[in-house]
Amino acid sequence: MTPLPLRPDSRVLVLTGAGISAESGVPTFRGAGGLWEGHPVTEVASPEGFDADPALVWRFYGERRQARKTVAPNPGHRALVALEHALGDRFLLATQNVDGLHREAGSQRVLAIHGELFESKCERCRVPFPDERTYLGEPVPVCPTCGQRIRVNVVWFGEMLDPKHLRQIDRFIAEAGNRLVFLAVGTSGLVYPAAGLVDSAKQVGGTTVLVDLAPNREHARRFDRVEVGKSGEVLPRLLAAAQ
Ligand SMILES: NC(=O)c1ccc[n+]([C@@H]2O[C@H](COP(=O)([O-])OP(=O)(O)OC[C@H]3O[C@@H](n4cnc5c(N)ncnc54)[C@H](O)[C@@H]3O)[C@@H](O)[C@H]2O)c1
Ligand SMILES: [Zn+2]
């Protein structure tokens, strides 16, 4: 495999999705048929779903927290750590994963654009705090300050991403211009605004690369180069020159 062509002035923006954590044993949503115990994930990952049945939603995330504690980063995560070591501030990682595996592997310049599984926030106070507890239903936790319900700090279907994250990504792309290499890994490209980053990268003259085990054809067509395979096997080879 030809390594990613990196020049001394290259800037690399990486976007990761559920696929990069699949080899660690974290299931992708679509891989599971988009269902959890017969519920569509949109039902347990939306504000409407939480209003309708907060105990059910907490049981879903409680199980996610429990499962996450049993897994570890894989060679795909580690290849990105090595790339960041080589590039420093010329590297930025935006992840749609909430599992925290990039940070556990050692990545530092990470934006968790869909939030963090091990954080919670009060629906009213809205300040996220670290939270490793697993609620498996009732009672639904409430805020000690205001009495409102506590929820997990992930971005649910229909919710906005943190504008600070989006501005930081936009700035990175604009400053990089045609020195930009945009590398998307294990993401189906169906969830916006992350799915639009490939177009932003092309607009500034950047090079675009997709690594995915089973790329969605429509999504793959938008990239200059597509490497089909497991990210834990492809990334160490693709990024070998930077290590
Ligand atoms: N680990 C997590 O934190 C986690 C897990 C499931 C879902 N989610 C959330 O669900 C949403 C789903 O969007 P998405 O695009 O991230 O995921 P997705 O489930 O829509 O797509 C996953 C992609 O990964 C690919 N893939 C599967 N195994 C792979 C492997 N070993 N190597 C490389 N690619 C592989 C699939 O072909 C698919 O294209 C995201 O918003 C994310 O926040 C997060
Ligand atoms: Zn509160």
Q: Which pLDDT band holds residue 32 (cuts at 50, 70, 90)?
A: low
H or E element at residue 115 = strand 115-122
* N-terminal to C-terminal alpha carbon distance within the chain: 15
Q: What is the reported pTM? A: 0.95
Low-confidence winner among 87-91, 108-112, 135-139 (lowest mean pLDDT): 135-139
- Residue 134 CA to ligand 2 center (angstroms) comes to 19
pLDDT at 33 over 80: no
**CA proximity to 196, closest of 179, 217, 173, 214:** 173
232 in the same domain as 137: no
- Residue 107 CA to ligand 1 center (angstroms) comes to 19
170 in the same domain as 61: no
The contacts of residue 6 (CB under 8 Å, 6+ apart) are 12, 181, 241, 242
pLDDT at 29 over 80: no
Q: What is the CATH number of the domain that holds 78?
A: 3.40.50.1220
204 in the same domain as 237: yes
Which tokens hold the place of 40?
């569509």
Query: For this structure, is 114 an active site residue?
Result: yes
3 within some domain: no
What distance in Å separates the CA atoms of residue 26 and residue 229, rounded to the nearest whole number?
Answer: 17
150 in the same domain as 217: no
Q: Is 231 in the pocket of ligand 1 (CB under 6 A)?
A: yes
CA 70 to chain centre: 19
- Residue 21 CA to ligand 1 center (angstroms) comes to 8
What distance in Å separates the CA atoms of residue 32 and residue 237, rounded to the nearest whole number?
Answer: 28
Count: domains in the chain: 2
Antiparallel, parallel or unpaired: β 129-130 and 110-112: unpaired
| Full residue range of the structural domain in which residue 222 is found | 11-26+73-114+161-242
20 in the same domain as 34: no
Query: Out of 77, 102, 114, 219, which one is annotated catalytic?
Result: 114
168 in the same domain as 147: no
